[in-house]
Amino acid sequence: MAEAATATRGHAEGETRRDFIYLAAGGMGVVGAAAVAWPFISFMNPSADVLALSTTEVDLKPVQEGMAITVTWRGKPVFVRKRTKAEIDAAAATPLSALPDPQPDSARAKKPEWLILVGVCTHLGCVPLGQKTADPKGEFGGWFCPCHGSHYDTSGRIRKGPAPKNLEVPAYAFLDDTTIRIG
Protein backbone atom coordinates (compact mmCIF):
# COMPACT_ATOMS: atom_id res chain seq x y z
CA MET A 1 0.00 0.00 0.00
CA ALA A 2 2.60 2.49 1.16
CA GLU A 3 4.75 1.59 -1.77
CA ALA A 4 1.90 2.09 -4.21
CA ALA A 5 1.10 5.49 -2.70
CA THR A 6 4.68 6.72 -3.05
CA ALA A 7 4.78 5.53 -6.60
CA THR A 8 1.59 7.41 -7.40
CA ARG A 9 2.86 10.59 -5.79
CA GLY A 10 6.16 10.33 -7.62
CA HIS A 11 4.30 9.88 -10.86
CA ALA A 12 2.13 12.92 -10.19
CA GLU A 13 5.16 15.08 -9.42
CA GLY A 14 6.80 13.99 -12.64
CA GLU A 15 3.62 14.91 -14.45
CA THR A 16 3.60 18.45 -12.97
CA ARG A 17 7.19 19.11 -13.88
CA ARG A 18 6.58 17.83 -17.37
CA ASP A 19 3.53 20.07 -17.77
CA PHE A 20 5.55 23.04 -16.55
CA ILE A 21 8.23 22.48 -19.16
CA TYR A 22 5.68 22.18 -21.96
CA LEU A 23 3.92 25.32 -20.76
CA ALA A 24 7.21 27.21 -20.51
CA ALA A 25 8.25 26.10 -24.00
CA GLY A 26 4.86 27.01 -25.47
CA GLY A 27 4.77 30.32 -23.58
CA MET A 28 8.22 31.36 -24.73
CA GLY A 29 7.31 30.37 -28.26
CA VAL A 30 4.28 32.66 -28.17
CA VAL A 31 6.29 35.52 -26.64
CA GLY A 32 9.02 35.04 -29.25
CA ALA A 33 6.54 35.02 -32.13
CA ALA A 34 4.88 38.20 -30.81
CA ALA A 35 8.28 39.89 -30.46
CA VAL A 36 9.12 38.93 -34.05
CA ALA A 37 5.82 40.36 -35.30
CA TRP A 38 6.55 43.87 -34.02
CA PRO A 39 9.51 44.72 -36.31
CA PHE A 40 7.45 43.62 -39.29
CA ILE A 41 4.49 45.80 -38.28
CA SER A 42 6.76 48.73 -37.49
CA PHE A 43 8.55 48.24 -40.82
CA MET A 44 5.38 49.36 -42.62
CA ASN A 45 4.99 52.56 -40.57
CA PRO A 46 6.39 55.86 -41.89
CA SER A 47 10.18 55.76 -41.98
CA ALA A 48 12.53 58.39 -40.57
CA ASP A 49 12.97 60.20 -43.89
CA VAL A 50 9.20 60.39 -44.40
CA LEU A 51 8.66 61.75 -40.90
CA ALA A 52 11.41 64.33 -41.43
CA LEU A 53 9.53 65.79 -44.39
CA SER A 54 6.33 66.35 -42.44
CA THR A 55 6.51 70.17 -42.44
CA THR A 56 6.02 72.49 -45.39
CA GLU A 57 6.59 76.24 -45.54
CA VAL A 58 4.27 78.35 -47.70
CA ASP A 59 4.87 81.87 -48.99
CA LEU A 60 1.52 83.71 -48.89
CA LYS A 61 2.65 86.84 -50.78
CA PRO A 62 1.44 85.79 -54.23
CA VAL A 63 -2.09 84.92 -53.07
CA GLN A 64 -4.63 87.64 -53.92
CA GLU A 65 -7.85 88.20 -52.05
CA GLY A 66 -10.52 85.79 -53.23
CA MET A 67 -7.90 83.46 -54.67
CA ALA A 68 -6.63 80.12 -53.44
CA ILE A 69 -3.49 78.04 -53.91
CA THR A 70 -2.94 74.34 -53.37
CA VAL A 71 0.30 73.16 -51.75
CA THR A 72 1.50 69.64 -50.96
CA TRP A 73 1.91 68.52 -47.38
CA ARG A 74 2.57 64.87 -46.50
CA GLY A 75 1.55 63.94 -50.02
CA LYS A 76 -1.87 65.54 -49.65
CA PRO A 77 -3.21 68.80 -51.10
CA VAL A 78 -3.57 71.70 -48.66
CA PHE A 79 -5.93 74.51 -49.64
CA VAL A 80 -4.70 78.01 -48.77
CA ARG A 81 -7.45 80.56 -49.43
CA LYS A 82 -7.42 84.30 -48.87
CA ARG A 83 -11.07 84.94 -48.15
CA THR A 84 -13.02 88.05 -49.10
CA LYS A 85 -14.88 90.05 -46.50
CA ALA A 86 -18.16 88.63 -47.80
CA GLU A 87 -16.92 85.06 -47.41
CA ILE A 88 -15.71 85.66 -43.87
CA ASP A 89 -19.00 87.29 -42.91
CA ALA A 90 -21.00 84.45 -44.45
CA ALA A 91 -18.99 81.90 -42.50
CA ALA A 92 -19.23 83.83 -39.24
CA ALA A 93 -22.97 84.42 -39.62
CA THR A 94 -23.87 80.76 -40.05
CA PRO A 95 -25.64 79.55 -36.90
CA LEU A 96 -24.02 76.48 -35.37
CA SER A 97 -27.38 74.73 -35.41
CA ALA A 98 -27.21 74.65 -39.21
CA LEU A 99 -24.00 72.58 -39.12
CA PRO A 100 -23.76 68.78 -39.07
CA ASP A 101 -20.32 69.15 -37.41
CA PRO A 102 -20.76 72.36 -35.37
CA GLN A 103 -17.64 74.51 -35.15
CA PRO A 104 -17.43 78.33 -35.17
CA ASP A 105 -15.46 79.92 -37.99
CA SER A 106 -13.21 81.66 -35.45
CA ALA A 107 -11.92 78.26 -34.30
CA ARG A 108 -10.93 77.33 -37.85
CA ALA A 109 -8.79 80.26 -38.92
CA LYS A 110 -5.96 81.89 -36.97
CA LYS A 111 -6.30 85.03 -39.09
CA PRO A 112 -9.83 85.42 -40.53
CA GLU A 113 -8.65 86.17 -44.07
CA TRP A 114 -6.48 83.06 -44.28
CA LEU A 115 -8.21 79.70 -44.38
CA ILE A 116 -5.88 76.69 -44.36
CA LEU A 117 -7.49 73.28 -44.99
CA VAL A 118 -6.44 69.77 -45.81
CA GLY A 119 -8.08 69.39 -49.20
CA VAL A 120 -9.37 65.89 -48.65
CA CYS A 121 -13.09 65.18 -48.42
CA THR A 122 -13.90 63.63 -45.05
CA HIS A 123 -16.21 61.16 -46.76
CA LEU A 124 -13.90 58.90 -48.75
CA GLY A 125 -10.83 60.96 -49.48
CA CYS A 126 -11.45 62.67 -52.84
CA VAL A 127 -10.15 66.20 -53.45
CA PRO A 128 -13.08 68.67 -53.50
CA LEU A 129 -13.42 71.22 -56.31
CA GLY A 130 -13.51 74.96 -55.69
CA GLN A 131 -9.87 76.07 -55.80
CA LYS A 132 -10.00 77.45 -59.33
CA THR A 133 -12.25 80.33 -60.29
CA ALA A 134 -14.10 78.20 -62.82
CA ASP A 135 -14.68 75.27 -60.44
CA PRO A 136 -18.13 74.54 -59.02
CA LYS A 137 -18.06 75.71 -55.38
CA GLY A 138 -21.24 73.96 -54.21
CA GLU A 139 -24.37 75.47 -52.78
CA PHE A 140 -22.53 77.23 -49.96
CA GLY A 141 -19.80 78.96 -51.93
CA GLY A 142 -16.94 76.90 -50.57
CA TRP A 143 -16.00 73.53 -52.05
CA PHE A 144 -17.89 70.75 -53.75
CA CYS A 145 -16.75 67.15 -53.78
CA PRO A 146 -17.49 65.58 -57.17
CA CYS A 147 -17.27 61.99 -55.96
CA HIS A 148 -20.39 61.81 -53.82
CA GLY A 149 -21.71 65.38 -53.75
CA SER A 150 -20.60 66.87 -50.43
CA HIS A 151 -20.94 70.64 -50.12
CA TYR A 152 -18.59 72.68 -47.94
CA ASP A 153 -19.06 76.35 -46.98
CA THR A 154 -16.59 79.23 -46.97
CA SER A 155 -15.13 77.93 -43.72
CA GLY A 156 -14.66 74.43 -45.16
CA ARG A 157 -17.47 73.08 -42.99
CA ILE A 158 -19.71 70.29 -44.24
CA ARG A 159 -23.19 71.56 -45.01
CA LYS A 160 -24.79 68.97 -47.26
CA GLY A 161 -23.93 65.51 -48.56
CA PRO A 162 -22.53 62.28 -47.12
CA ALA A 163 -19.30 63.63 -45.55
CA PRO A 164 -19.50 63.40 -41.74
CA LYS A 165 -16.97 66.07 -40.75
CA ASN A 166 -15.65 69.48 -41.69
CA LEU A 167 -12.52 69.70 -43.84
CA GLU A 168 -9.56 69.23 -41.49
CA VAL A 169 -7.53 72.25 -40.44
CA PRO A 170 -3.88 71.13 -40.26
CA ALA A 171 -1.56 72.32 -37.51
CA TYR A 172 0.12 75.47 -38.82
CA ALA A 173 1.85 78.55 -37.55
CA PHE A 174 2.55 82.01 -38.96
CA LEU A 175 6.32 82.42 -39.08
CA ASP A 176 5.78 86.05 -40.14
CA ASP A 177 2.96 87.98 -41.80
CA THR A 178 3.41 86.30 -45.15
CA THR A 179 4.83 82.84 -44.34
CA ILE A 180 3.21 79.86 -42.70
CA ARG A 181 4.63 76.50 -41.72
CA ILE A 182 2.25 73.58 -41.99
CA GLY A 183 2.87 70.59 -39.73
Binding site for another protein (CB under 8 A): 18, 21-22, 24-25, 28-29, 32, 35, 39-40, 42-45, 47-50, 52-53, 62
Which residue out of 11, 123, 148, 151 is catalytically annotated? 148
Cα separation values, 26 from 20, 31, 33, Å = 10, 9, 11
Element (H, E) at 158: strand 158-160
> Which residue, 44 or 107, has its beta carbon nearer to another protein?
44
Find residue 145's DSSP bridge partners. 150
Q: How far is the CB of 136 from another protein (least distance, A)?
A: 26
> Which residue, 43 or 75, has its beta carbon nearer to another protein?
43
DSSP, collapsed to helix, strand or coil, labels residue 111 as coil
DSSP β-ladder status, 76-82 and 68-73: antiparallel
Q: How far is the CB of 168 from another protein (least distance, A)?
A: 23
Is 151 one of the annotated active-site residues of the chain? Answer: no
Q: Where are the beta strands (DSSP E) in 41-149?
A: 56-59, 68-73, 76-82, 114-118, 141-145
> Which residue, 106 or 178, has its beta carbon nearer to another protein?
178
Q: How far is the CB of 109 from another protein (least distance, A)?
A: 24
Residues involved in catalysis: 148
